[in-house]
Amino acid sequence: MHTNFDLTEEQQAIRDTVRRFAREKIAPIAAQLDESQEFPQATIKELGEMGILGIGFPEEDGGMGGDTLSYIIAVEELSRVDGSHGITVAAHCSLGVWPIHAFGTPAQKAKYMPKICSGEYLSSFGLTEPEAGSDAGGTRTTAVLDGDHWVLNGAKQFITNATYAGVLVVTAKTDKSMVGSKGISAFLVETDAPGFKLGKKENKLGLRASDTRELIFEDCRIPRDALLGELNHGFPVFMKTLDGGRISIAALSLGIAQSALDAAVPYAMERKQFGRPIVEFEMIQSYLAEMQTEVTAARHLTYHAARLKDAKRRHTIESAMAKYYASRTAMKATTLAVQILGGYGYTKDYPVERYFRDAKLCEIGEGTSEIQKIVIARELVKTFEKT
């Protein structure tokens, strides 16, 4: 069962184009890429040429001129076939490109936006550290002004797209006298900057064709004008970035959840036990009904959050709810898909075991489910305080 959710003709065209590309170009190689952990450079390059890597950004900045919902639909359709492609595009657009678009100076945007929107190179977002994950205010990386340069020291962990990025958005402490989230600034770091190097490539449970690396800064020197946004006010930069990023992880989750349903229903219709298709058994029907209902609900939440962002309305609680619910749905739907396929679902002969492994990241990345519930509760309390 599908619905257009009142999509415009342009949004439907983007959905259909990305869906066709994913099925024709990505589906045949997804399993092998997962096995080899090879980054899909060729297909990502094609997505750049199609405009998908700049889909939600203005044409004057080098983007495609689409809206947030179009971008979210693209991530959903990619993830429906392969989560690694979905998270690559999501991390690039929401975490790498968006803060430059939103907080960059005219000179910074002119320098970087056309290249990252076209896919000449990717962008990446360095926030998480070994001791600063959910507690983003615990940033230990430092940036000290030395003449006309900032000198960065520290490390970032679990950073998506790092190997293929030309520019990184990185957070660092610029005033140690300020505690917690205060005194943190955001910077643009080109990956050929002296003193920067990549750390180890992570060997992951899922999304194995997605590039995830450690970033290391050892007296890394970047120009004084590499500051992104206001000095010592970097925390709002990445909090607003994460608001939008959570919608993209909801879309990633939604695509993976839909893929589980896409696999489970035909299998249940064809697989026979006790002389009849297992789809006729009430327990299987119950599983499929739960999956369909929750995937549809997740889509409503995700599209609603995207539309609020397009309307330039506050969407902190809506993006957190979408991310929280959709990621739970992805984990449940893939678990049920494996259960419905039984032994076959546990083997690599069918893709549901890959969907299952890919889904888990959705409950962790860009704020764990526990963090999302904290955000939701805090925003809920604020609404009652105003009444």
Q: What are φ and ψ of residue 218, in 5° steps?
A: -125, 100
Distance (Å, rounded) from C-alpha 27 to C-alpha 130? Answer: 35
Cα torsion angle, 144, 230, 55, 90, sign: positive
Q: Specify whether 46 is catalytic.
A: no
| Residue 281 burial by Cβ neighbours in a 10 Å radius (0-12, 13-18, 19+) | middle
* Distances 337 to 257, 268, 363 between C-alpha atoms, Å: 9, 10, 18
Catalytic residue among 363, 366, 370, 379: 366
* Count of residues in the chain: 387
Enter the tokens of residue 191. Answer: 């990956």
Distance (Å, rounded) from C-alpha 19 to C-alpha 74? Answer: 8
Catalytic residues: 366
